[in-house]
Amino acid sequence: MIPAKICGITRLADALAAAELGATAVGFVFYARSPRCIEVAEAARIGEKLLPHIARVGVFVNPDLQTLISTAKNAGLTHIQLHGEEEVALCQASPLPVIKAVRSPVEFDAYKNVSMAAFLIDSKTQDQFGGTGQLSDWNFSRQVKAHAPAILAGGLSSSNIAQALATAQPDAVDLSSSVELAPGIKDHHKLRDFFAALRQIEIAERQSSKIF
């Protein structure tokens, strides 16, 4: 099953449900203007309850280096996701592996020759850097894969994930608003439906590859 990150976690129950259903990563938003923003101490508390193999990704928008260093340590993060318009130097100085969000080929050009753990293909509006629920450019994902692993985000759900995977061919997926009751409050029914859809895709792919 393709790796999946559930982002915008603010509650322990949601993190545990996501992990139990098959999520390989959870995301904590440390951006004050986001309705999904979480305190560092609470992110640490939630992270401590998860099994070690679950990645704990901190999401930042245009932070300074000291904020990255202190938050990574105090929240017990494993990865840093930069979701704003960060300088290349900040990406390179990060204390943890970086996932850099990009929304277009023009934006990607500034980072494509920088070593990243992955690029996250997302959408944004004038007021929001992510978590908009709007679809990203699925074809753009295939361009990014030539440089680093691609994580597809932006409006993914159980109803469109099969088409998204077939078109974008990402290495992982990332969901937030599409599996929520309200910002930061995950809908466990939607989570179950999504991971069930991923399993059905996996089963279909195995069956189609069989010769006998």
The residues annotated as belonging to the active site are 7, 122
193 touches 178 (CB < 8 A): no
Long-range contacts of 129-133 (CB under 8 A, 24+ apart): 129/31, 129/61, 129/83, 129/84, 129/101, 130/59, 130/83, 130/101, 130/176, 131/7, 131/8, 131/29, 131/34, 131/36, 131/176, 131/177, 131/183, 132/177, 133/177, 133/178
Query: Can you read off the two tokens belonging to residue 180?
Result: 């929520």
